[in-house]
Amino acid sequence: MPFVLFVIVVTLAPGPDMALGLRNSIRGGSTGMWWTGLGCCAGLLVHAAISVAGLSALLAASAVAYTALKLGGAAYLVWLGATTLWKSIRNRHEAPAAALPEPQPVAGGLTRRAAFRQGLVSNVLNPKIILLFLTLLPQFISPGEPRALTSMILTVAFLAVALVYWRLASWLVGGLRELLSRRKVKLALERATGTVMIALGLRVAFESG
């Protein structure tokens, strides 16, 4: 139970994944957010596998590797934010398009595959997730317990919380689809999420540790 509560707090904390999910919900509706979340969950699996294999400890111990990963993740966030701002500026003078039903996530050119890939890459390139798995999982493994098996169980619990969060978030976005599809609201949210992603990327790039 303590682990689940901690994971809920971590999952709800604002960060790059949440900013990306909001950005993709504007471009692809609830489906865009859901598939972004699935990509983020796949990224958690990658980090869990790395942690169990012991590679995350080596990566965290290497200043060069950690810095490279951090800068790569920061650059990706800044690039996503900048492209979002650019598209919002470019679309500012375009005539409003007729509202379309949401079953196919093609709004703004976003496909399910693209949303999944963006969530995956953003999560994998987040050095904080590596440190989270490196420092979090061992604290909930009692002496004498099989490390690999217990780590897998904890990872499944982490993924379950993440999937519930992304499912609820995507349903909420679906309920607000009419509001989010309004031109002025969409442009404002695109600029806000783009700015937030750039800010997060810069913070990741320049923060120490």
Residue spans per domain, the chain: 2-206
CA distance 20 to 51: 24
Question: Which tens digits make up the pLDDT trace of 84-112?
Answer: 788 777 766 554 544 444 444 444 567 89
100: left (phi > 0), else alpha (psi -120 to 50), else beta?
beta
What pLDDT score was predicted for residue 56? 65
Taking each helix axis as running N to C, give the angle between helix 63-90 and helix 183-206, from 0 to 180 degrees, rounded to the nearest 10.
160
Question: Which tens digits make up the pLDDT trace of 164-206?
Answer: 999 999 898 777 766 666 777 777 777 887 888 788 778 877 8
Which is higher by pLDDT, 93 or 153?
A: 153
CB 200 within 8 A of CB 15: yes
For 127, the token pair is 């050095």
The residue among 38, 208, 19 whose CA lies nearest residue 127 is 208
Q: Output the DSSP codes for 156-188.
A: HHHHHHHHHHHHHHHHHHHHTHHHHTSHHHHHH
Question: Which tens digits make up the pLDDT trace of 31-74?
Answer: 998 999 999 999 999 888 887 777 666 666 777 777 787 788 78
Please state, as a whole number, how many other Cβ atoms lie within 10 Å of the Cβ of residue 177: 14
Task: Report how far Cα 22 is from the mean position of its chain's Cα atoms.
Answer: 10
What pLDDT score was predicted for residue 115? 93
CA distance 62 to 56: 10
What pLDDT score was predicted for residue 180? 62
**Statement: residue 209 has pLDDT above 70:** no
Q: How confident is the model at residue 160 (pLDDT cuts 50, 70, 90)?
A: very high
**Statement: residue 16 has pLDDT above 80:** yes
Name the burial class of residue 199, with classes exposed (0-12), middle (13-18) and buried (19+) by CB atoms within 10 angstroms of its CB.
middle
What pLDDT score was predicted for residue 63? 73
Spatial neighbors of 22 by CB under 8 A, at least 6 apart, are 33, 189, 193
CA distance 206 to 181: 35
The residue among 197, 202, 193, 203 whose CA lies nearest residue 22 is 193
What pLDDT score was predicted for residue 97? 47
**Statement: residue 208 has pLDDT above 70:** no
